[in-house]
Amino acid sequence: MIYLILQHPGTNKVYYAASDKIALAELQIACANISIPVSELKITEIAGVRYLSLEVENEFTPDDLNIISRLSFVFALFKQKEVNDEKYLFPVLTTDYEYIDSKISNILKYKGKTNEQLTKMMINVALLTSDYNYNHSIKILDPIAGKGTTLYEASVYGYDAYGIELEQKAVQEAGVFFKKYLQTEKIKHKIDTKQVAGESKRKAIMMQEFSYAKSKEEFKSEDTTKHLGFINGNSLDAHKYFKKELFNLIVGDLLNGIHQGNTGNKNNQSISRNPAELLRESLGEWKKVLKKGGVIAVAWNSFLVSRPKMQEVFAEFDFEVLRDAPYDQFEHMEDHSTKRDVVLAKKK
């Protein structure tokens, strides 16, 4: 049995051109979680169109389809069958997993924004690598949130998502954007603003938290209500804002953190251009709010710091670093000065 996945072209043509090996790596990680053995995975072309090919012993189960459907690059899924010595592609219905419409990440445009397909891949691969799955109530933290791309992609999956951002303007704009989106889409919601840290009103750190649901019935129960929160604060203080071992996943773009002003300096005196410095200063605090078996996935510019050096930082904090293939296949050119890479590490 051969399945073929048509890769989503996305809106970023540069990313698409470089993303074949990234998609294949994500697919390999996913295949470690499905119920049937996979004998061959490869990239192939049919009539000049790129597909990812999987050869499996049997048809996908509903649970397998749920995993495959959620991959960041899936545009359409087909079975390849031979009829009268001719090969034909037959469409396969994928799982409709979106809690809110994935268009949300395409609407907001700004300089320094992380490509939403890369963000989705990071979330998905982090979950598939963790000790958790789609049946758990997943909570995600982006400690360098910018204007919220990670949070929006997490909300598409139906996960609770929280972000920390040092730049006040970015937090304000993100809150205005998400409120307008919920109103436009007529999604039932409420907004709470609460103090999460600070000894006085002058030093108060506030969180704007959205509670939302697709129906009035779902909104009545905390079990079926989703949450998204923005904190205007320092990523070094994540452990002050949240309970210990609250999050299943931590996902962030360290280049975004540098753009937006998150810093590896505890006194906020300067912005670090070195992502390893930001990671080393922050990782101990981020680890406190991550569950055992949870995974951190971070992206950075590998022109600035090599992959081995980033992995060393995680090892210093006693994480299980995912070093081998396919976890070493995420590096790609973004522009002439930026080569994005992604590293993942699990909390022991």
For residue range 27-40, list pLDDT tens digits in order. 999 999 999 999 99
Residue, of 112 and 247, whose pLDDT is higher: 247
pLDDT at residue number 260: 43
For residue range 255-291, list pLDDT tens digits in order. 755 544 444 445 444 455 689 999 999 999 999 999 9
- Check if the beta carbon of residue 161 is closer than 8 Å to that of residue 212: no
pTM over 0.85? The answer is yes
**Start-end of H helices in the chain:** 13-18, 20-31, 62-69, 104-107, 116-129, 149-157, 168-184, 216-219, 238-241, 254-260, 275-288, 307-316
For residue range 296-347, list pLDDT tens digits in order. 999 999 999 999 999 999 999 999 999 999 999 999 988 888 899 999 999 9
Architecture of domain 2-92: 2-Layer Sandwich (3.30)
Q: Do domains 2-92 and 104-347 have the same CATH topology?
A: no
pLDDT at residue number 238: 96
SS3 call for 169: helix
pLDDT at residue number 272: 55
**Where do the structural domains in the chain lie, given as residue ranges?**
2-92, 104-347
SS3 call for 82: strand
- Check if the beta carbon of residue 171 is closer than 8 Å to that of residue 165: yes
The domain covering 104-347 belongs, at the CATH homologous superfamily level, to Vaccinia Virus protein VP39 (3.40.50.150)
